[in-house]
Amino acid sequence: MALPNKVLPGFSATLYCQPSATPTALTVANLSTYASVSTIAVSGNLLPVESIPAFGQDDASATFAVAGSRQSDIIPTQSKPTSMTITAAWNPSDPNLLLMRGDAYNGTVDRTFVISASDGTNTIYYAFNGRVSEFHIDMAPNAEAKCTFSIHPRGNQYGWSNNT
Amino acid sequence: MILDQAIEELVSTYQSLDAVASRLVVDAKEVADALEKVTFGSVEHVALLALQKYNPFTTQKETIKPNADTEQQ
């Protein structure tokens, strides 16, 4: 699909999560389909994050060596999706943050997340399936309470779509 | 493989679309025809694009040898 040609300046990004404690994550083809993804990117599913972290791929490789040999091998094994560390103001009444906490305790819930970049007219969605872990709450008295958690995207399960 | 089954498999998979489409052998003409009819941006459209990558349809021109009779002699 063609992307909007006025990308980035003036665009704001937002993170949404699929609702329900036992979600059925979108399939890969649906992750690339605007109509499917836009149903998740609604205000009720908003995650109140401070900022959208970097997302994409990390390098990964396997290193092989033989003891005593001068030569070794580094073989690229995969393009591992980047884990996203999210910080949000902790609100124990926010249903979506509670979903994240529940996912982190469970550890095996696959949920669809959507990053929406929009300038008000054009919208680009990056949708991916991921699992949540490492949820912790920082109640330091000298600042507002915040929670931090990581979303680990599942390999290959992502898609781009837009409204143009 | 029947095109509908291939689309269904692609639409429901959680694996890489590329990897799945690469092992699905379908009629390239059917894929090209279906792409013309399907709604742009629909989930079927995404699946058909993946299929088209590995089953490209190319129109073959009829080649007529000008001196086919004389060559045989």
Residue A158 lies in a domain: yes
Residue A1 lies in a domain: no
Residues of A with Cβ-Cβ distance to B9 under 8 angstroms: none
Check residue A1 and give its pLDDT: 47
Consecutive H or E run containing A96:
helix A95-106
DSSP character for A45?
G
Provide the sign of the torsion angle of the four alpha carbons B49, A26, A43, A116, taken in this order: negative
Residue A87 lies in a domain: yes
**Do the chains contact at B42 and A33, CB–CB below 8 Å?**
yes
Question: What are residue A51's DSSP bridge partners?
Answer: none
Domains identified in chain A, total number: 1
Q: Name the token pair of B69.
A: 């009779």
Contact indicator for A104, A132 with CB cutoff of 8 Å: yes
pTM exceeds 0.80: no
Check residue A8 and give its pLDDT: 56
Check residue A26 and give its pLDDT: 93
Per residue of chain A (164 residues), give pLDDT as tens: 455 555 556 667 888 999 989 999 999 999 989 999 999 989 999 988 887 777 766 666 667 777 777 777 776 666 666 788 888 889 899 999 999 999 999 988 999 999 888 877 788 888 999 999 989 998 888 888 899 999 988 878 888 888 87
Provide the sign of the torsion angle of the four alpha carbons B29, B30, B36, B41, taken in this order: negative
The CB density around residue A78, as the number of other CB atoms within 10 Å, is: 13
Residue A139 lies in a domain: yes
* Residue A124, domain extent: 12-162
Rounded Cα distance between A118 and B57, Å, is 37
Residue A64 lies in a domain: yes
pLDDT of B71 above 60: no
**Do the chains contact at A27 and B14, CB–CB below 8 Å?**
yes
Q: Provide the total of helices (H) and of strands (E) in chain A, helices listed first.
A: 3, 7
Residues of A with Cβ-Cβ distance to B46 under 8 angstroms: 29, 32-33, 159
Contact indicator for A162, A1 with CB cutoff of 8 Å: yes
Residue A4 lies in a domain: no
Rounded Cα distance between B7 and B47, Å, is 6
User: What is the longest distance spanned by two Cα atoms in chain A?
Assistant: 62
Q: Which amino acid is at A153?
A: P
Torsion of Cα atoms, A133 then A82 then A11 then A144, to 10°: 30
Residue B9 makes CB contacts below 8 A (sequence gap 6+) with B20, B24
Residue A91 lies in a domain: yes
* Nearest chain B CA: its distance from A143 CA (Å): 42
Rounded Cα distance between B32 and B56, Å, is 8
CATH code of the domain covering residue A92: 2.30.110
Check residue A102 and give its pLDDT: 93
Residues of B with Cβ-Cβ distance to A1 under 8 angstroms: 41
Contact indicator for B41, A35 with CB cutoff of 8 Å: yes
What is the residue-wise DSSP string for B2-38? -HHHHHHHHHH--S-HHHHHHT----HHHHHHHHHHS
Q: ipTM of the predicted structure?
A: 0.71
What pLDDT digit, counting tens, does each position of A90-138 carry? 989 999 999 999 999 998 899 999 988 887 778 888 899 999 998 999 8
